C-alpha cells in the first residue's frame, strides 16, 4: 500500500517548500523506496501556461506535454520520481473536472458543493498523482496555511489522512524562525501560530521543518516541540544553504529527517543509502576550480524564477567542469539601447532563452550578431534559436526582410513561420506544440558530436518553427541544420559547424538537465565558454608580455 507525505507551509511564502519536498524524495529514494511527487496549486488557472513569467516564474513542461508549476522542475532534477500531467493539479483543474461531471449528470439530484464534491475531487487527483508501484507519494500543497484559497486542499488532505490512518500518512509543515537582529534572537512565535492554524483546520503536523538563518538552540527545539505538540527529534532544522540548493538533501539527512519520516510512516525501510554522489556534487559547488561568466539575454531577466531551469542547467554544466557559472542577466531591451559591446564585453558565453512577442527581440538579434562576429560561444533556446535564424538570414544569407511572422505577419521573408498545425487554433491554453518529440541528429555535426547519439527526445513549447522554404538558401550561406523531426521534416537544431559552440535548438533541453546528469548541450556550452575565457586570458597575457619584458630587460 502506498503511504503519503503531505508538505504544507506556514508563516510566509518562498520558504523553499518545493526544494524541501524534492530533498525528501532524495532521502527516501536512498532508502530504496519508490516515490512519486505531486504539487497542488490553489490558483484558478487550469495550469500556469497562460500566466506571465513575471507572475509565476517559468512554466515547466513535462515529457507528456503538460504546462506545470516550476516546482516540478525541482522534483525532476533531484529525484527519479515519474513526473507527468498528473503531478500538478490546480483549483482550476479540480473545478473544471467537477463542473464537467456535473454537466454530464454524475451528481444528478445533488447540490454540488466545495465539501464534499471539490474535496473528493482533490482526493481523486491525489490518488491519480500516486501511480502504481509507488511506496511513498509526496504531495506538496502550494500557498500558506490560512490562505482562503488553500482551505479546500487542506480539508482534503485532512480527510485523506483520516481514511488512511496513523502510520500511513505524514504531515510535514515548513515554517520560519525569523532572526531579529535588534534583539539578537530567533523567534518561535510565528511557528507556534502557524501550527495553531493547522490544528484549527484539523491537521496536527508530525514533523516541523524550521527554516532559519542561524542554528537553533536546544532550548528553542524543546520549546517548539512542547508548544507545537511534536517530539523533539521531529523538529528539524533547515538552515539557508551557502553554496547551492543541492546541499539540502545532505543537510536534512544530518538533521535526521529520513529517520523522522521512517518513524512516522512506520516504513520497513532498508539501511540508509550512501550519498557519495551528492557529496561529490556539493564539493563541486562549494569548492570550484574556477569561474566563468555567461550572459543571459532575455525579457524577464529581473525575476530569477522566470528562467529557473536555464540557470539550473547552466550551473549543472559548470559543476561538470568544476566551475562556478556566474550569470550576467541582461534585459534584451536594455541591450537594444546600450548596444551589445558595452553589455556583453568580458563575458565568455551568450545564452538567449525562450520568449514570446516583439518586446526585446531586436536586442536579442543584435546580441547574437555580436557573438557571431566575436566568436563568442552562443546557445539559443526556442525563441533564441529563432532569433539566431533571423540574424543569420538577415546578416549573412542576405535575405531581405527576414523575420518571424509572430512579430511581423506581413514580413517579406518569414524565415520563422506559424506551424501548419497551429493555423486556426484560437484557444491559448495548452494548445502549443508541447512535450517530448524525437529528433534525429544529423551525422558529422557539432550536435551529433556533443550528444554522441543519433536520436534524442526533447521537450517543446512553441507555435512557430523554422520555415523550410528558406532552408536551402540558409544552408548554402553556411547555416547547418543538424537536427530534424523526421515525421514532419521540421528543423529542430541549427548550428555553425566550424565553431566550438554556436547552436540553436527549437526545444528546451534545460528541462532535462539534472545536477547528477548534466544535459550534454549545457555541459558542452559551459565547456566552450571556459575554453573561450582561457584563450582570451592567454591573448591578454601575450599582449602585455612584450611591455613587461621591455621593462625588466
d(CA 101, CA 405): 40
| CB nearer ligand GLN, residue 81 or residue 382 | 382
Shortest Cβ 463–ligand GLN spacing (Å): 4
- N-terminal to C-terminal alpha carbon distance within the chain: 81
User: Considering 321, 462, 508, 519, which one is annotated as catalytic?
Assistant: 508
Q: What DSSP string describes 100-142? A: HHHHHTTTTTS---IIIIIHHHHHHHHHHHS-TT-SEEEEEEP
Shortest Cβ 417–ligand GLN spacing (Å): 10
| CB nearer ligand GLN, residue 260 or residue 389 | 389
| CB nearer ligand GLN, residue 49 or residue 205 | 49
Shortest Cβ 354–ligand GLN spacing (Å): 3
> Is residue 382 annotated as part of the catalytic site, yes or no?
yes
Shortest Cβ 46–ligand GLN spacing (Å): 19
Grid cell for residue 185: 534572537
> Is residue 316 annotated as part of the catalytic site, yes or no?
no
- Enumerate binding residues for ligand GLN (CB under 6 A): 354-356, 382-383, 406, 461-464
| CB nearer ligand GLN, residue 107 or residue 356 | 356
Grid cell for residue 169: 500518512
| CB nearer ligand GLN, residue 406 or residue 510 | 406
Grid cell for residue 232: 523533539
Q: Name the residue whose CB lies closest to ligand GLN.
A: 354
Q: Which residues contact 341 (CB under 8 A, 6 or more apart)?
A: 370
Contact of 533 with 349, CB cutoff 8 Å:
no
User: Considering 228, 382, 447, 481, which one is annotated as catalytic?
Assistant: 382
Contact of 348 with 532, CB cutoff 8 Å:
yes
d(CA 33, CA 28): 6
Shortest Cβ 201–ligand GLN spacing (Å): 39
Q: What DSSP string describes 48-73? A: GGGS-HHHH-PPEE-TT--EE-THHH
Shortest Cβ 506–ligand GLN spacing (Å): 8
> Is residue 76 annotated as part of the catalytic site, yes or no?
no
| CB nearer ligand GLN, residue 308 or residue 461 | 461
Compute φ and ψ for 405, nearest 5 degrees. -70, -10
Helix (H) or strand (E) holding 393: helix 383-395
**Omega cis (within 30) before 116:** yes
| Residues assigned a catalytic role | 382, 508, 510
Amino acid at each position: 500500500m502506498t503511504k503519503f507525505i503531505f508538505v504544507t507551509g506556514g508563516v510566509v511564502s518562498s520558504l523553499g517548500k518545493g526544494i524541501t519536498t524534492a530533498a525528501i524524495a532524495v532521502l527516501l529514494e536512498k532508502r530504496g523506496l519508490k516515490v512519486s511527487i505531486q504539487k497542488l496549486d490553489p490558483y484558478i488557472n487550469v495550469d500556469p501556461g497562460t500566466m506571465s513569467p513575471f507572475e509565476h516564474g517559468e512554466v515547466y513542461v513535462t515529457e507528456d506535454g503538460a504546462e506545470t508549476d516550476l516546482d516540478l522542475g525541482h522534483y525532476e532534477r533531484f529525484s527519479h520520481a515519474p513526473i507527468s500531467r498528473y503531478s500538478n493539479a490546480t483549483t482550476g483543474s479540480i473545478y473544471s473536472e467537477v463542473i464537467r461531471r456535473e454537466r454530464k449528470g454524475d451528481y444528478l439530484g445533488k447540490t454540488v458543493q466545495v465539501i464534499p464534491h471539490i474535496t473528493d475531487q482533490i482526493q481523486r487527483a491525489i490518488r491519480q498523482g500516486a501511480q502504481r508501484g509507488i511506496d511513498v507519494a509526496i504531495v506538496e500543497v502550494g500557498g500558506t496555511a490560512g490562505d482562503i484559497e488553500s482551505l479546500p486542499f487542506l480539508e482534503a488532505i485532512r480527510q485523506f489522512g483520516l481514511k488512511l490512518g496513523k502510520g500511513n500518512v505524514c504531515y510535514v509543515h515548513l515554517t520560519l524562525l525569523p532572526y531579529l537582529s535588534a534583539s539578537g534572537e530567533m523567534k518561535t512565535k510565528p511557528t507556534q501560530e502557524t501550527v495553531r492554524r493547522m490544528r484549527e483546520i484539523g491537521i496536527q503536523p508530525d514533523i516541523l521543518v524550521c527554516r532559519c538563518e542561524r542554528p537553533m538552540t536546544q532550548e528553542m527545539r524543546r520549546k517548539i516541540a512542547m508548544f507545537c505538540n511534536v517530539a523533539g527529534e521531529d523538529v528539524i532544522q533547515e538552515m539557508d544553504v551557502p553554496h547551492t540548493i543541492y546541499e539540502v538533501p545532505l543537510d536534512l539527512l544530518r538533521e535526521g529527517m529520513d529517520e523522522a519520516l521512517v518513524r512516522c510512516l512506520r516504513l520497513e525501510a532498508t539501511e540508509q543509502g550512501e550519498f557519495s554522489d551528492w557529496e561529490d556534487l556539493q564539493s563541486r559547488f562549494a569548492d570550484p576550480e574556477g569561474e566563468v561568466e555567461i550572459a543571459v539575454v532575455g525579457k524577464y531577466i529581473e525575476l530569477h524564477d522566470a528562467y529557473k531551469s536555464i540557470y539550473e542547467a547552466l550551473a549543472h554544466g559548470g559543476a561538470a567542469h568544476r566551475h562556478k557559472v556566474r550569470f550576467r542577466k541582461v534585459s534584451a531591451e536594455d541591450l537594444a539601447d546600450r548596444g551589445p559591446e558595452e553589455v556583453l564585453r568580458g563575458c565568455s558565453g551568450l545564452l538567449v532563452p525562450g520568449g514570446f512577442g516583439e518586446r526585446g527581440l531586436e536586442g536579442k538579434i543584435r546580441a547574437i550578431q555580436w557573438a557571431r562576429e566575436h566568436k563568442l560561444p552562443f546557445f539559443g533556446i526556442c525563441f533564441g534559436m529563432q532569433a539566431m535564424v533571423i540574424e543569420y538570414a538577415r546578416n549573412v544569407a542576405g535575405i531581405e526582410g527576414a523575420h518571424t511572422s509572430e512579430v511581423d505577419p506581413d514580413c517579406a521573408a518569414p524565415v520563422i513561420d506559424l506551424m501548419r498545425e497551429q493555423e486556426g487554433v484560437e484557444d491559448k491554453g495548452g494548445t502549443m506544440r508541447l512535450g517530448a518529440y524525437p529528433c534525429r541528429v544529423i551525422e558529422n555535426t557539432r550536435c551529433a558530436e556533443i550528444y554522441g547519439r543519433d536520436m534524442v527526445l526533447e521537450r517543446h513549447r512553441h507555435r512557430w518553427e523554422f520555415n523550410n522554404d528558406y532552408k536551402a538558401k540558409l544552408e548554402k550561406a553556411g547555416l547547418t541544420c543538424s537536427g530534424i523531426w523526421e515525421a514532419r521534416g521540421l528543423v529542430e537544431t541549427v548550428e555553425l559547424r566550424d565553431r566550438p559552440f554556436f547552436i540553436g535548438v527549437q526545444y528546451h533541453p534545460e528541462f532535462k538537465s539534472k545536477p547528477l546528469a548534466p544535459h550534454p548541450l549545457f555541459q558542452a556550452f559551459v565547456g566552450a565558454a571556459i575554453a573561450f575565457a582561457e584563450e582570451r586570458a592567454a591573448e591578454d597575457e601575450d599582449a602585455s608580455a612584450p611591455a613587461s619584458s621591455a621593462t625588466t630587460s
